[in-house]
Chain A
């Protein structure tokens, strides 16, 4: 079976544990090479985080478990890359004008 190499998740999580701790735990999972967590919205007790994980064999269930253990909820899986290499989405004429 093909291997998942990149996951981009939209997560709602409590302010504590911090994204530093969450990133450390996620990057400790087998098959994970790098983790990027950026906050795009912050509230009084919770924050919205975009979590990007790359590696040679990502296990979604394990990623989900770590996020839930830390009180987070995955709102959506915004991007998945699977296969032998990592590719980005191709540009199409329907894409909004980026100029």
Chain B
């Protein structure tokens, strides 16, 4: 069997598992929810750093990356444990009907694949979302003033939130603009809350 054919077989099997274990819908939900979490957390980190007068790009990058990695690990671990518990319970319930061991059947394999895929999505979504928002700080040398990086990052965060909202709007077949605006609302609220906190600083 050629490598291309083997790859096609793997894709076909994954598609089959996807249908069986409803992976697409769950992964999509986790992706949106955790990317949203990732962006809002990084907005918090950025606003906190700005309020604390942190003007060193590398400090912000290290803080942001550490936060992103922690969010990634949290997502990966949390989703793996919860999803695995739910899937095992579901399989056990099905086995109580069929009175057979289903672990080696397509249903059992799809269930295990779902746990891994959902955990990866849950881990990488907040990590990548946070990383994208942090990107401008990697290029601070180009525009020298770190304040510009702050503005660019916050702008990028809002654009990202809008895109995420529009994506969810497409899923729910609602207006993309309204759905995107709702997401931006959350981002603006996080920015405003941090800003007010800064004002309260003596």
Contacts and interface: CB of A to CB of B under 8 A. Distances in A.
A28 interface: no
Interface string A60-81: 0000000011111100000000
B97 A45 contact: yes
B198 interface: no
B97 A17 contact: no
A70 B106 contact: yes
Contacts of B93: 45
B99 interface: yes
Contact of B106 (A43, A45, A69): A69
Contacts of A72: 98
A12 B98 contact: yes
B61 interface: no
Contact of A71 (B16, B19, B98): B98
A43 B97 CA distance: 9
Given A16-B20, A17-B20, A69 B97 contact: no
A71 B97 contact: no
A14 B107 contact: yes
Interface string B79-109: 0000000000000011001111010011100
A-B interface, 4 closest residue pairs, ranked by CB to CB distance from nearest: A71-B105, A46-B97, A71-B107, A45-B97
